[in-house]
Structure 1
């Protein structure tokens, strides 16, 4: 009987210690307050929080951490963009900025979690950056409905410098 109690006491001590370590680890790395996007290319992964994040009903209630991600790119590897379901479950926009012009794509709710972005477009040149936006409709003082966004994530691309 003493042996069973001793083993049980050891199990309780180990379980308590493991629970304490788990709680400590979770407290050290709290989950992000807002959704993050992920961008991957050529072995490099970056996670980016929002540049701005507003209440969808009250666009004056905003947090603007002004986070801008940076991703080193080249002409051989596309960018793989991933958005969490917190973004993809709503209509969302992907704006790509190239040297020559911009491209805006709209995605319907639940349709897309990942997008491949070419770093070079034959008609527009090199990709200089991209944004993910969550749109909403606002009504101005004259009653006109206008598109706006209530959240935005921004990524700037960094190209290798030519050798001197």
Structure 2
């Protein structure tokens, strides 16, 4: 599925001739004594169109029970963003949860901690909303930043 998405995104770029802007927002993740700055995996214009895709996945080591500090740049913080994360709970089930909508000039940071110290974080995505809204009333994604977590 990821390969299909990559091929489709590349086709769109070739057809539209669009590229990522020279400078686009980055998200900083800090855990277990290490900081990484992540570029968007996918980033579109403000209307959620003309998207470009990066292919290099970010990875971060986060042992069970550790928190992750997330910091977004001003462009994301001024708009609407959320953190969505996948983890394995104490019974071995994969769970997905998120922060709900953040931003609006108020939220530049978020500290992600899981419900139990034995839960293992598996992945994190930061979603930025575009100016467009879907028919369901949900904001269309402008971009997302993804981190694969290793233990």
Instruction: Report if TM-score (shorter chain) is over 0.5.
Output: yes
Which residue matches 2:58? Answer: 69
Q: Deviations over 1:123-163 (max 9, x none)?
A: 993110111111233456xxx6553201100011111xxxx
Matched, 1:101 2:95: yes
Aligned with 1:134 (options 119, 128, 134)? 128
Question: Residues of 1 paired with 2:43 and 2:73: CA distance?
Answer: 15
Matched, 1:121 2:115: yes
Question: Residues of 2 paired with 1:126 and 1:75: CA distance?
Answer: 5
Moved over 6 A (4+): none
State the 1:116 CA deviation.
1.0
Question: Residues of 1 paired with 2:123 and 2:71: CA distance?
Answer: 15
Question: Residues of 2 paired with 1:123 and 1:40: CA distance?
Answer: 18
Q: Deviations over 1:61-116 (max 9, x none)?
A: 01111342110111243111111111111011110111231112221411211111
The count of residues paired between Structure 1 and Structure 2 equals 123
Highest Rg: 1 or 2?
A: 1
Question: Residues of 2 paired with 1:158 and 1:139: CA distance?
Answer: 34
Which has the bigger relative contact order, CA under 8 A and spacing at least 6?
2
Would the aligned equivalents of 2:65 and 2:120 in 1 still touch at CA under 8 Å?
no
Which residue matches 2:9? Answer: none
Ranges in structure 2 where 5+ consecutive residues have no aligned partner: 1-21, 89-93
Structure 1 stretch displaced more, 145-154 or 34-43: 145-154
Ranges in structure 1 where 5+ consecutive residues have no aligned partner: 1-31, 160-164
Would the aligned equivalents of 2:66 and 2:117 in 1 still touch at CA under 8 Å?
no
Which residue matches 1:42? Answer: 32
TM-score by length of 1: 0.66
